[in-house]
Amino acid sequence: MGFLKKSMLFLLGAISLAGCASTVQVNVRHAPELGLGAVKTVKIEKFTVQGGVNLNLSRNILLDFVGDVVVGGFVEPDRASLQDAHRQGLAAAIARNGYFQISDSDAANVRIDGGLDYHVSDHVTESEQKTGSVTIKTYTLARTANATVVFHVTDKSGKVLGSSKVSADLQRSWNGASEAEVRGQAGGTTGVVLEVLADTHDKVLQKIAPYYVTEQRTLRQRWSDQIKNGNKAAEQGNWQEAVQNWNAALSSGKQQDRVAAMYNLAVYDEVTGKLDDALKKYEEIYSLTKDSDDAKEVDRIKVRINEESALKQAENSRSASSSP
């Protein structure tokens, strides 16, 4: 067989393998940035609120609006309402997570307070499209919103246990035949501020409480029927059959088959929470391949093990604590 033909067959085989990549999902629990130890109950205070809105209103549009509407709720959200919305939204996010209990009592283990800074900006563009002798104008309003939340966690004595900051952004757009039309569609700015503010609540939560992220792992492919069948079974959620096939492939005479099988078994260990077993397999794989990607897998699983250790220590501390 000629060199060119062999190269083409190899290339086609590689493309075939890449095209049938198998992926599975792993629920990964992450430790929060701020470890709060034995804390069980949290009180959410009202945050200070500041911000600004730039609607870039043209003179003609300004004249179209009634003055008190422009100066009032159309332009600036009510800050007292934002305070309440932020407090309630953050409390709801923490309650959904279930790690902490929300309390309105001063006897809560900790309180969370801080400040909220929001900004809204409009940008209107005009475009023209000619169809014969007819010119059609289209106006587009792009509205951007940003919210930054700085927060502090303090205990009952006033000692600061941790501080952090989160931010969120969003953009919305509307199209119409006139500037007045698109501004009418967009309406006031309160809606986008509340929407971007809601994005900050989950980010604050991830700073103070354990959270789960669903990650994808790509199983390693080989031409071996045992690897292929195992990967197919894993994709379908039939882990028992998958493990049987991969274990059988471990006795293969080809090192690449054994490495692929061992890698996939390490993924299974992650799925089932056996992180120490997964680490042993990833380390053995790296000892065989000396591949930098395999070294990264070792480092990644070590981070997971350290995070789980920190979480278990916090849970033990919470269990031993007599405070509510």
Q: What is the DSSP string of 50-117?
A: EEEEE----HHHHHHS-HHHHHTTTTS--HHHHHHHHHHHHHHHHHHH-SSEE--STTSSEEEEEEEE
Is the pLDDT score of 83 beyond 80? yes
Radius of gyration of the CA atoms of the chain, in A? 28
The pLDDT assigned to 134 comes to 83
The pLDDT assigned to 281 comes to 96
Task: Name the more confident of 323 and 242.
Answer: 242
List, for residues 241-285, the tens digit of each pLDDT value.
999 999 999 987 789 999 999 999 999 999 999 999 999 999 999
First to last CA, the chain: 77
Burial class (CB in 10 A: 0-12, 13-18, 19+), 7: exposed
The pLDDT assigned to 69 comes to 46
Burial class (CB in 10 A: 0-12, 13-18, 19+), 128: exposed
Is the pLDDT score of 192 beyond 60? yes
Residue 292: left if φ>0, alpha if ψ -120 to 50, beta else—which one?
Answer: alpha
Q: Look up residue 157 and give its two tokens.
A: 């004595």
**Region 30-51 average pLDDT:** 91
